[in-house]
Amino acid sequence: MSDQNKSSFKFTEIPGFLTSRLFGYNLIRLGIFLILIWILHSLILSIYTNHGQKVKLANYIGQPLEKVKRLAAAKDYDLIITDSIHLIGKPGGYVLNQTPKPNSMVKRGRSIYLVISRYKADEIISDNLPTLYGEKFDFKARELESLFQLKLRVSEQKFDPGPSGHILAAYYKGKLIANDKGRELGIIMSKGDTIEIVISTDAGGEIDVPNLRCKTLAEVRFETEASKINIGVIQQEGIVENMEEAYVIAQSPAFEKSKKIKIQSTIDLTVSSNYPDDCPPR
C-alpha cells in the first residue's frame, strides 16, 4: 500500500468534526452514560448509608424496661443495663437514666446504656449503724436518713434523770438494736424502713426526797438544780448575814428514807447562820 492511500489526521479538520452530527450523537450518548453512572452511584450509596443513618433517640427515662425493650428492638438498639438502684416509693424495673441522653442523634443498632430501678431494697446490717444509745434523737434522725435512708420514730417516752430527748433504746420490727447494755449485731434491715425509738424525758419522773439538812444554801442550790427540784420559800431563823453560807436546819417535805418526790417539785427551806448541833462535824 502506498503512502498516498494512508489516511492522515489534519488539525484543520477538527472544527468540522466538532460540528458534525456524529460528534453530537456521541456527546449525547456519553452524557446519558454519565448520568446513568451517577444515578447508580447515588442509589448504591443511599442504600449503604441508610443502614447507618442517625436518628433521634427516644426518651426512655421513667418507662418500664419491658416497654423500652420493645421500642429499642424496632431500632435495632442493643440495651445494656449498667446499674440498678433501689428508690423508696419507686417500683422496680423502670429506667432511671440512659446514655446517650434523650434526643441525641445516634445510629441504628448502637448500644444504649441504662440505669434501672431495683425491685429489692438495699440491706443494712445493724453492725454498721452509728452509736444510738445516749445520743440526741434529732441529730441521729438526720444522720440515719442521710446515710442509710432509715427513719426514726418515737414509740415511747420514758423518764430518765439525764437530759431529755436522748435515745434510751432502739428496736427494729420488735427486735432490740441498742440500749444501755450495748447493741445487737447481725440484725438485717431494709433501706427505707423505720426504727422505733424510746427517748428520755424529764417529765413525770420521781426521785428520792433529798436530805438537805446540815448543808449550806449554796450546796443545796447545786444539788437541787442537778436533781431538777425547785427551791420554794426560804425562811430565816435568827439573823442571817450571808444567805449562801447559811445552813439548812429544816425542809418541807422532810427527808424520809425511800420517800419519793416528783421531778420539778418544790422544797421549802429554813436556814440559820448556826450549824445544828446534831449534824455531822464538817
Q: Is residue 86 part of a domain?
A: yes
Maximum Cα–Cα distance across the chain: 171
Identify how many contiguous H helices and E strands the chain contains and give both numbers: 5, 17
Q: How far apart are CA 133 and CA 131, in angstroms?
A: 6
Cβ neighbourhood burial of 223 (10 Å; 0-12, 13-18, 19+): middle
Q: Both 25 and 71 in a single domain?
A: no
64 DSSP β-pair partners? 94
Residue ranges in the chain modelled with pLDDT below 70:
1-18, 23, 45-52, 204
Closest CA to 250 of 229, 263, 264, 232: 232
Beta carbons of 108 and 51 less than 8 angstroms apart: yes
Q: Both 166 and 96 in a single domain?
A: no
Q: Both 128 and 163 in a single domain?
A: yes
pLDDT, residue 25, reads: 76
Q: Is residue 1 part of a domain?
A: no
DSSP 108-159: TT-EEEEEEE-SSPPEEEGGGSPP-TTSBHHHHHHHHHHHH--EEEEEEEEE
Q: Both 66 and 109 in a single domain?
A: yes
Q: Domain holding 183: CATH number?
A: 3.30.10.20
How many domains, in total, are found in the chain? 4
Q: Both 192 and 127 in a single domain?
A: yes
Q: Both 99 and 59 in a single domain?
A: yes
Q: Is residue 78 part of a domain?
A: yes
Q: Is residue 37 part of a domain?
A: yes
Q: Both 144 and 160 in a single domain?
A: yes
Distances 65 to 82, 88, 119 between C-alpha atoms, Å? 13, 18, 12
pLDDT, residue 37, reads: 87
pLDDT, residue 46, reads: 58
Determine the 3-state secondary structure of 258 from DSSP: coil
Q: Which three cell numbers stand for residue 23?
A: 460528534
Boundary of a domain, candidates 100, 117, 134: 117
Closest CA to 75 of 97, 100, 39, 44: 100
Beta carbons of 179 and 237 less than 8 angstroms apart: no
Q: Both 144 and 184 in a single domain?
A: yes
Q: How far apart are CA 282 and CA 280, in angstroms?
A: 6
Q: Both 132 and 111 in a single domain?
A: no
Q: Beta-carbon neighbour count of residue 30 at 10 Å? A: 10
3-state helix, strand, coil in the chain (%, to 5): 30, 35, 40
Q: Is residue 9 part of a domain?
A: no
Q: Is residue 282 part of a domain?
A: no
Boundary of a domain, candidates 117, 147, 165: 117
pLDDT, residue 115, reads: 94
- Please state the pTM of the whole predicted model: 0.48
Range of the domain at 139: 123-201
Q: Is residue 5 part of a domain?
A: no
Boundary of a domain, candidates 74, 97, 117: 117
pLDDT, residue 263, reads: 81
pLDDT, residue 111, reads: 92
Q: Beta-carbon neighbour count of residue 235 at 10 Å? A: 13
Q: Both 127 and 197 in a single domain?
A: yes
Q: Is residue 167 part of a domain?
A: yes
Q: Both 156 and 186 in a single domain?
A: yes
Q: Which helix (H) or strand (E) holds 18?
A: helix 14-18
Q: Both 176 and 197 in a single domain?
A: yes
Cβ neighbourhood burial of 168 (10 Å; 0-12, 13-18, 19+): buried
